[in-house]
Amino acid sequence: MAALDAVLATRTNPSFLSDGITEFEASMLVPSSRLRPLAVLFCALPVLVQGQDAELGERLYRSGERAYSAKAHKEALETWGQLLQADPKSEFAPRALLKLARHQMEVERKPEAAMPYLDRLRTEYIKSPEAAEGFLLRGILLAGQARRPAELKGAMAEFNRVLDLFPGAPACGEARFHLGRAWQGQGQWGRALQQFIESFRLHPGSAVAAQAMFEAAETLDVMGDLPGCLRMLQRLRLEAPQSPEAKEAAWRMAVRVKQRLQKPPLRNEGPWPGGRTKWLKTPTLLAQAPDGDLLIFQNDLDRAFRLHESELTPQGPAAPGTRALLSGPTGALWLLSKNGLVRDDSPTTQPLGPLGSISGAALDRWGNLWVADAKTPALTLFAPEGGARTVASPTANALAPLSAGGVVIAADVDRKLLFLDGDGQPRIVVPYGKDLPAPFRSVIALATDGAGQVAALVDGGDFGEGVVIFGPDGATLRHATFKALGLSGRIVSLALDRTGGLILCDRRNDLLIRLN
């Protein structure tokens, strides 16, 4: 710029010619016709540099996308990190933050590692279109960290921010769905239903529309509107026939019609499957896996087995003295004994503290493990990340998870079934013998299904030994005594299958029996 000033001075100072430079030579320095384009070029330089920076941000983002699609995750993460460092003001910076956060959530399975990216997106790029999805993901992470209803407030605030700040964003459909799930967790069924309906009605093309219809149907069932539940499930099957939710809806519809509307008398179909007899080694525990397979613990072998169709295969490690058999959230096998919790997806045994007389266990929708001890008038909850807390309760001799959240327990000392919510508070109380021709004295085992039914293996009193099936509201649906069914074995456990049948575990005769 100093040289340019000097040239300008020669054109306005006549004494310049007296210094030995001719007028021709002076005119050759900067012709007047070129002076204006040169000045324009100097003014345009900052704009050109900014254009190059903007182009650099996009190139880095696209390069990361290419690497990620080729499964070169490390290269992609480094490239997006370089973009955030070199050009944080680029319009592609918030996109890179979302990519980094989703990688930690979906690939690395480290939700805590995703939070810093989402925090930065919320604080530095709140005006960007990507901020809506950032708020949504933060809410999903916070909801996943919740271990009880009261811990959902932070997640709900994030979902509401999506709806309030970005009313037209694609993320709104999913935000409404997760907001409905949060209201479900708190037992606010009416508010949950409203959010689910708005999710699929206002956002029919959303990725969660089918899930929203499914959850709306389940909420209607909990609210006591069985016809509305069945209509919603049928609508789901018609509008999203290829979705996983439609397949789930099919068996739930059939089971609800059978158990609650038709209510046929229970029939003894004999040894199951395929009429097999004396084919097990003292079976003592049954559990249903998420995919419908049956899990069987055989006491003489100290092992659990998976029954898929007619094939029986060992499952998990040996676990002598097992008192409770569970299927974990991802289908993993969980075995509980006085020595602790053994999982086939973990190399170590988790101690259960002073609990030495385990009488039952259940996993709730929050991921908490509920454990009952025959000598302890309380329930102990073990969180997935560690730590435990107790919930005041009568001594429970059996328990099972509820599809609506929480667990159902049998308390022989009070002669009652208690349907507990996620905080352990009684939601429904059913006295032993309610709506039966005669009362029973004790509950040996409990089982539940995804459609809301509760099956109890009962004994004693004038009723004797038999089974009772309850609805989600605690109403008695079906019942039968083993004497009436012609059974004389030692039945110690049971499971509900996806067709509304009952599988009984006969320890004395080493077989399974099906009631239908």
What pTM value is reported for the model?
Answer: 0.85
Classify 496 as helix, strand or coil.
Answer: strand
399, 407 Cβ separation under 8 angstroms: yes
Q: What local confidence, expressed as pLDDT, does residue 54 receive?
A: 55
Average pLDDT, the chain: 89
Q: Please state, in angstroms and rounded to a whole number, the distance separating the CA atoms of residues 305 and 294.
A: 8
- CATH 1.25.40.10 domain position(s) in the chain: 141-262
Look at residue 48 and tell me whether its pLDDT is greater than 60. Answer: no
pLDDT in tens, 478-488: 999 999 999 99
Span 220-238, average pLDDT: 97
pLDDT, position 329 = 73
What's the rounded mean pLDDT across residues 422-451?
95
Q: Which range, of 43-52, 114-123, 174-183, 313-322, averages the lowest pLDDT? A: 43-52
Q: What is the mean pLDDT of residues 276-286?
A: 96
Decide if 409 contacts 417 (C-beta within 8 A).
yes
**pLDDT tens for each residue of 125-154:** 999 999 999 999 999 999 999 988 989 999
Q: 217 or 385, which is more confident? A: 217
At 331 the pLDDT is: 79
The pLDDT assigned to 26 comes to 42
Convert the pLDDT of each residue in 67-99 to its tens digit. 999 999 999 999 999 999 999 999 999 999 999
The number of beta carbons lying within 10 Å of the beta carbon of residue 230 is: 20
Question: Residue 470 is encoded by which pair of tokens?
Answer: 């309850």
Q: Which of the residue ranges 15-29, 462-476, 492-506 would you say has the lowest mean pLDDT?
A: 15-29
Confidence band of 322 (pLDDT split at 50, 70, 90): very high
Q: Is the pLDDT of residue 465 over 50?
A: yes
Strands (E) located in 289-436: 294-298, 303-308, 311-315, 324-327, 333-337, 340-343, 358-363, 369-373, 378-382, 388-392, 398-401, 407-411, 416-420, 426-431
pLDDT at 46 over 50: no
Residues 179 and 191 sit within 8 Å (Cβ to Cβ): no
**Token pair belonging to 502:** 């009952």
Nearest 5°: phi and psi at 181? -60, -40
Q: pLDDT tens-digit profile of 93-119?
A: 999 999 999 999 999 999 999 999 999
Determine the average pLDDT of the residues in 468-478.
Answer: 96
Question: Looking at residue 328, what is its pLDDT?
Answer: 78
> 373 has which bridge partners?
358
- At how many degrees (to 10) do helices 171-185 and 209-222 cross? 20
Give the model's confidence band at 53: pLDDT under 50 very low, under 70 low, under 90 confident, else very high: low
What's the CATH fold of domain 141-262?
1.25.40
Measuring CA to CA, how many Å separate 151 from each of 146, 156, 171, 468, 472? 5, 10, 23, 35, 25
Is it true that domain 269-515 has CATH number 3.30.505.10? no
Name the strand (E) or helix (H) holding 179: helix 171-185
Q: Write out the H or E segment, with its range, that includes residue 287.
A: strand 283-288
Portion of the chain with pLDDT greater than 90, in percent: 79
CA 326, 185, 190: angle at the middle one, nearest 5? 135
Query: Is a pLDDT exceeding 80 seen at residue 311?
Result: yes
Portions of the chain given CATH number 2.120.10.30: 269-515
Quick one: average pLDDT of 232-238?
97
